[in-house]
Amino acid sequence: MASELFSPLSLRSGQVLGNRVAKAAMEENMAGDGQLPDGQLLSLYRRWATGGTGLLITGNVMVHAEALTGPAGVVLDDAAPLEPFTEWAKAGKSGGGAMWMQINHPGRQIQANMPGVVWGPSAVGVDLGKHSSRFGRPVAMTPEQIEATVTRYAVTAHRAEKAGFDGVEVHAAHGYLLSQFLSPLVNRRTDQWGGSLENRARMLLDVVRAVRAAVSPSFAVAVKLNSADFQRGGFDADDARQVIAMLEPLGVDLVELSGGSYESPAMSGRPADARTQAREAYFLDLAKDLVKTSPLPLMLTGGINRRDTAERVLATGVALVGMGTALAVTPDLPDRWRHGREADRLLRPVTWSDKALASAASMAQVRHQLRRIARGSRPKPNTRPAYALITEQRQQRRALRRYRAWLSAS
């Protein structure tokens, strides 16, 4: 029996989500001074909280102040004041839904102009052809750095619970650090963290164990995993199946399936793989396959805009439907579905032939909508991609100056 979109979902931690619609993490890149959530983020999440989702997952929060995915990234480490996070949790829960924090370390996916560290499992840089120089050159992590990073995830999770969040999602997808360890293309280590899938999954499993031990049993712990990297010889659906089985005994509540990385940006709907060419629910074929064997509830994110697509996803046995871009354009979409309505508009598609640039522009377009919602304006999905990208680059330059000053002062 397929689950109804507006039926509750009980998780093994005892947490009950009000319905099967989640706002998936989208990187807001909207931190205020001190890399903290401020009024902008609070008003954005208050708006989403009233839109009818059962769960809001924040954009990725950084576990390491010296390793940010972008200069306006939010940081929650042992030095961050808790009050702004308490306010953020309150804003996200103000509509009665649950609020989880996505926690992340970018590893090698760090812009070349950023201060701090660029780490990876191995010294293998991001390959974006002519755009490769946009990213820093990574150094291979030492065992001590790996251990310290595992601890950082646990600290962030513990503090997220203290601030009033209902759960965390460990980000092990989209080519970030834990995903880099999982990938045989990026992870060329010959020690206990490299080689076999068991070894490549070691850091993720250690992070999950440490996080679970640092929070109470009723606090949800989820993992975001690629169903595939869409790169020849990379992490694939069979690897994903095995990793889900490894996560099951560790007290994980949910696994969110996505796909791709900066090198193959399938998550923004520009996949390199024919199986995901469908305009909606990009990763549904892979998820259908994984659902059959998964011992854990699965959430599927990527290209879901219409109620019938969401219902088709649930009909396969997927437990939760995640939406990102659709909620950046129509923040009250779940409520509309409840009343038999759909979104009026979709985001203007980016049709540029340069894949890396198109991916950056579509992310800039999404963030442009988030900033409009945060200011109390209506989204403007017809914004030109080039305008969104240029505006964002200007904001990033200002944020980079602030981040550099903050980092050297702290």
Judge whether 226 lies within some domain: yes
Range of the domain at 297: 9-345
Cα 135 to Cα 114, 131, 138, 214, 353: the distances in Å are: 9, 8, 9, 33, 21
Helix, strand, coil content of the chain in percent (nearest 5): 40, 15, 45
> Mean pLDDT throughout 171-194?
96
Q: Is position 34 within any domain? A: yes
Q: Tell whether the model's pLDDT for residue 263 goes beyond 70.
A: no
CA–CA separation, 43 vs 191, rounded Å? 46
Q: Is the pLDDT at 226 greater than 90, yes or no? A: no
Asked, for residue 379, whether it belongs to a domain, the answer is: no
141-162 confidence digits (pLDDT tens): 999 999 999 999 999 999 999 9
Q: Does residue 372 sit within a domain?
A: no
User: What is the CATH classification number for the domain harbouring 169?
Assistant: 3.20.20.70
Rounded CA gap, 408 and 410, in Å?
6
Specify whether the CB–CB gap between 107 and 138 falls below 8 A: yes
For residues 124 and 138, the answer to whether their CB atoms sit within 8 Å is yes
DSSP letters along 159-192, please? HHHHTT-SEEEEEE-TTSHHHHHH-TTT----ST
Gap between the Cα atoms of 191 and 169, Å rounded: 27
Q: Going by C-beta distance under 8 Å and a sequence separation of 6 or more, which residues neighbour residue 137? A: 118, 123, 125
Is-contact 306 2, C-beta < 8 A?
no
Cβ atoms 381, 345 nearer than 8 A: yes
Residue 89 lies in a domain: yes
Q: What's the pLDDT score for residue 271? A: 41
- H/E stretch holding 364 reads helix 355-374
3-state secondary structure of 325: helix
Q: Where are the beta strands (DSSP E) in 238-338?
A: 254-258, 298-301, 320-323
> Does residue 281 surpass a pLDDT of 80?
no
| Dist. CA 215–CA 264, nearest whole Å | 34
| Whether pLDDT at 25 is above 50 | yes
**Alpha helix locations (H) across 183-280?**
197-200, 202-214, 237-247
In a domain, 369, yes or no: no
Average pLDDT score over the chain: 92
The model's pTM: 0.95
Q: How far is CA 234 from the centre of its chain?
A: 20
Residue 266 is assigned to a structural domain of this protein: yes
| Residue 391 in domain | no
Residue 262: the pLDDT is 64
Q: What percent of the chain shows pLDDT beyond 90? A: 83
End-to-end CA distance of the chain: 54
Number of structural domains, the chain? Answer: 1
94-131 tens-digit pLDDT:
999 999 999 999 999 999 999 999 999 999 999 878 88
**Quick one: pLDDT at residue 227?**
81
